[in-house]
Amino acid sequence: EKGNFDHFMLKEIHEQPQTIRDSLRGRLLAEQGTITLSGLDKIENQLREANRIVIVACGTSWHAGLVGEYLIEELCRLNVEVEYASEYRYRNPIVSPKDVIIAISQSGETADTLVALENAKQQGATIFGIVNVVGSSIARISHAGAYTHAGPEIGVASTKAFTAQLAVLQLIALKLAEIRGTISRELFGVLLSELNEVPDKVQWILDNQVNHIQNIARQYKDARDFLYLGRGYNFPIALEGALKLKEISYIHAEGYPAAEMKHGPIALVDEMLPVVFVATKDAYHEKIVSNIQEIIARKGKVVAVVSEGDDTVTGLAETVMVVPRAHEIVAPLLAVIPLQLLAYYIGVERGLDVDKPRNLAKSVTVE
């Protein structure tokens, strides 16, 4: 039931402190400084010997996969490829028994993902499932896996399942880095406690930013197009923010790596175009600030997600949405929350059925 919330989507956005905690529970033991993932233990040998990891997914789950790629490559120094299941399924990909395939799916029933996995399994690859629905088809055909424990997601636009996928990917990347000996004890400890703090930080966003984001939604609800830009760990979050807006508000939105802007999309920028930057404090911050300046110079309207206490962007942007400071590796778990809220409130302002957007199904069981 929706309880006090107008829509399931809003309820599910607000559940995230709890659902992220549930994804971490019993797995991340911050005080002991350990991560336990029984699914990973089951395929530890394959992981030790893997040449690469291939992540296969669709839609929002594919965006989580992109974050996973950045995490695993950075922390585990292991080659990762992220594939759209529909493409991977049909293009006769090269699969070897040394490949570990990570499938990401909320429903566990997405047809393209399921068949892509069946094909790879036949060719001897090891399949690891990150799935929300217990006992679903993808969970059943996987050799091992880790459930996301987000609980039933009713809103067609995925929110809490996405952050649960990110939380599990963080655990996997950290555990794998430990197994492969590619992370120092010190960094491991720092990232464990950063991850452990995420649920409280998400709660802070929900407690402090909702009314403000509602106002931003009122201001921009009639825009015809939106651009979403981010770099590094926040690039997939720009893609996810754009997808949420499209699904819920039917406004055309595109996500790009911020630096790709000059290679085409900048031609779209004028005083009518809102550009949402994911500009939290990280290694790319200076570069993203100069991307923001480039947009402003062309009269684009900048809305930015920024870290608490960082004033660099506040003076430049039309408006900012604030998230608590965090290590850049866990930042996507925070940065996506304001973007979910923005999409939700724009959809509501436009009088749309945000829980059941037109033309979409909760699980896509046909190709």
Active site (catalytic) residues: 362
* Eight-state DSSP code of residue 197: H
Per-residue x/- track, 148-177, ligand M6R (CB under 6 A): --------xxx-------------------
Contact 231, 364 (CB under 8 A): no
b/e code 268-294 from CB counts within 10 Å (16+ = b): ebeeebbbbbbbbbbebbeebbebbee
Min dist CB 366 to ligand M6R, Å, is 11
Decide if residue 136 touches ligand M6R (CB under 6 A): no
Decide if residue 16 touches ligand M6R (CB under 6 A): no
**Span of 57-65, 73-81, 301-309, 328-336 interacting with ligand M6R by CB under 6 A:** 57-65
Q: Which of 19, 113, 126, 340 forms a contact with ligand M6R (CB under 6 A)? A: 113
Q: Which of 107, 209, 280, 307 forms a contact with ligand M6R (CB under 6 A)? A: 107
Nearest to 355 by CA among 140, 117, 159, 92: 159
Query: Which residue's C-beta sits nearest to ligand M6R?
Result: 59
Number of H helices, E strands in the chain: 14, 12
| Percentages (nearest 5) of helix, strand, coil residues in the chain | 50, 15, 35
Min dist CB 65 to ligand M6R, Å, is 10
By beta-carbon proximity to ligand M6R, the closer residue of 19 and 113 is 113
**Span of 6-14, 44-52, 189-197, 358-366 interacting with ligand M6R by CB under 6 A:** 358-366
Contact 333, 202 (CB under 8 A): yes
Q: Which two tokens stand for residue 92?
A: 């006769």
Q: Which of 59, 145, 199, 332 forms a contact with ligand M6R (CB under 6 A)? A: 59
By beta-carbon proximity to ligand M6R, the closer residue of 284 and 344 is 344
Contact set for ligand M6R, span 67-96 (CB under 6 A): none
Give ∠ CA 72-22-130 in degrees, rounded to 5. Answer: 40
Place of tokens 């939106």: 226
Contact set for ligand M6R, span 205-264 (CB under 6 A): 247
Report d(CA 338, CA 317) in Å as an integer.
16
Decide if residue 106 touches ligand M6R (CB under 6 A): yes
Decide if residue 61 touches ligand M6R (CB under 6 A): yes
Contact 164, 300 (CB under 8 A): no
Decide if residue 142 touches ligand M6R (CB under 6 A): no
Min dist CB 63 to ligand M6R, Å, is 8
Range 87-93 contact pairs with CB under 8 angstroms and sequence separation of 24 or more:
88/54, 88/56, 88/116, 88/120, 89/115, 89/116, 89/119, 93/120
Q: Which positions lie near ligand M6R, rule CB under 6 A?
A: 58-61, 105-107, 110, 113, 156-158, 247, 360, 363-364
